[in-house]
Structure 1
Amino acid sequence: MFPLQSVLLPGEPLPLRIFEPRYVALVRDVMATDRIFGVVLIARGREVGGGDVRHDIGTAARVLDCESLGAERFAVRCEGAYRIRINKWLEDDPYPRADIEPWPDEPDDRVLPLSALNELQARIEDLLRRVATVQQVRLPRRWSIATGLPSGAEKRLYALASRVPMGQADRYAVVAASTLTARVAALNEAVDTVNAMLDFRESER
């Protein structure tokens, strides 16, 4: 397990610089087996040194490339693969470990309408245009958030979430949502939060 101070979403890239001895050992073991390790958000504490308190929902990360930088250091390029749920934390020896299981979205009697996805996508695109205006960034005339989005509701939602400039608590709410419908609601709340922050900034000018 690799506790971080940020949330990894399925499908999202994760570049890492590994230098702490316990995570050097983790990388060596992972590369010798299936190239998969778990990533969870730290609730309290720091990444380096241990003693942190961790959340129990996370993401399995798949190592795509691992480059030795010498002197027991590695540059590791990973990607979020699928959600995991921690059943039990084990002793941190020689690195954080846990008994985990994959956690796919739970069955939901409510069918997620395509219109809800499209509406959310439009809201996120409007938000990103607003952020660009605030930051004085000029977007291409035909820019669209739809470019490069994967097919399938689950992958599409995670890809949309990765584009929203939200805080880690909101990102965790997205990854911890038990159903697609709940994930849409979490993302809409995150968009509301970012818009409210922009409203506040504009009111102070």
Structure 2
Amino acid sequence: MFPLGAVLLPGEPLSLQIFEPRYVALVEDCLDGSREPEFGVVLIERGHEVGGGEVRTDIGVVARIIDVVELSGSRFRLRCVGTDRIRVDEWLPDAPYPRADTRIWPDEIGADDADLVDDLRKRADRLHTLTAQLARRSGIHRPPPSASLENLADDPTVRSYELAARLPIGPTDRQAALAAPDPRARLASLVTAVDDAIAMMEFRLQ
């Protein structure tokens, strides 16, 4: 297991620089040919990535290693991609790196979510408009680009993760989306997250 200060979503790329001894050992074990080259990623709720002792979430994602570069000084550069969502059943002793008993946690079947996809597009446009206004007021003439919410997958689960990955939301909201039981519930959590961001922008523009 690899606790991080960020949330990995299924289908997302992940790049890592590995230098801490416990995670060097993890990578070496992943690449020894006796197993799939993958590990679990969970969000650190409290604490730090370096040194251990952090508080970890129990819902994460499998990260599959797709490219590795071995560097000098027992370091690695990894390119990974998120695959299956997992739930931690039990955390095991860190020996020598974080370990856990986990199981794949697929989405439940949810109700149709087409209305929420449309709502999210409208809310994302509103949020971008407010962000651009705040940027101009702050003297920034080139505001951040709007989130592209077009060309989404047909599969409801994949589509919901694509939306979570593209929206300008923080790790707490991304984790809430990851933990949602089904695609419609995931989109509902994203609507709430974007509404909160809109309210914050409107407050700052008053």
Query: TM-score if structure 1 supplies the norm length?
Result: 0.88
1:148: Cα distance to partner? 4.7
Residue aligned with 1:28, SS: helix
Within 2, Cα distance between the matches of 1:106 and 1:144? Answer: 27
Can you give the 5+ residue segments of structure 1 that lack an aligned partner in the other structure? none
Given that residues 124 and 147 in structure 2 are in contact (C-alpha distance below 8 angstroms), is that contact kept between their aligned partners in structure 1? no
Greater shift, 58-67 or 149-158, is seen at 149-158
- Residue aligning to 1:57: 59
Distance across 2 between alignment mates of 1:167 and 1:10: 16
CA distance in 2, matches of 1:132, 1:82: 36
How far apart in 2 are the matches of 1:45 and 1:98? Answer: 18
Aligned counterpart, 1:16: 16
Query: Which moves more between the two structures, 70-79 or 159-168?
Result: 159-168
Give the corresponding residue for 1:117.
117
Query: What does residue 3 of structure 2 align with?
Result: 3
The gaps in structure 2 that reach 5 residues or longer are 136-140
Partner of 1:95: 97
- What is the aligned partner in structure 1 of residue 142 from structure 2? 137
> How many residues align structurally?
199
Over 3 Å counting, the alpha-carbon distance change for 1:130 and 1:151 in structure 2 is farther
Distance 2:70 2:107 in 1: 36
Measured on the aligned residues, the alpha-carbon RMSD in Å equals 2.0
TM-score, normalised with respect to structure 2: 0.88
Corresponding residue of 1:157: 160
Q: Which SS does the other structure have where 2:164 is aligned? A: helix
Deviation at 1:133, TM superposition (A): 4.6
Shift of 1:134: 3.4
Deviation of 1:175 after TM superposition, in Å, equals 0.4
1:70 is aligned to 2:69: no
The one-letter code of the counterpart of 1:156 is R
CA distance in 1, matches of 2:144, 2:83: 30
Summarize deviations over 1:117-149 as a string: whole Å, max 9, x none.
222233224423543453343688xx8724453
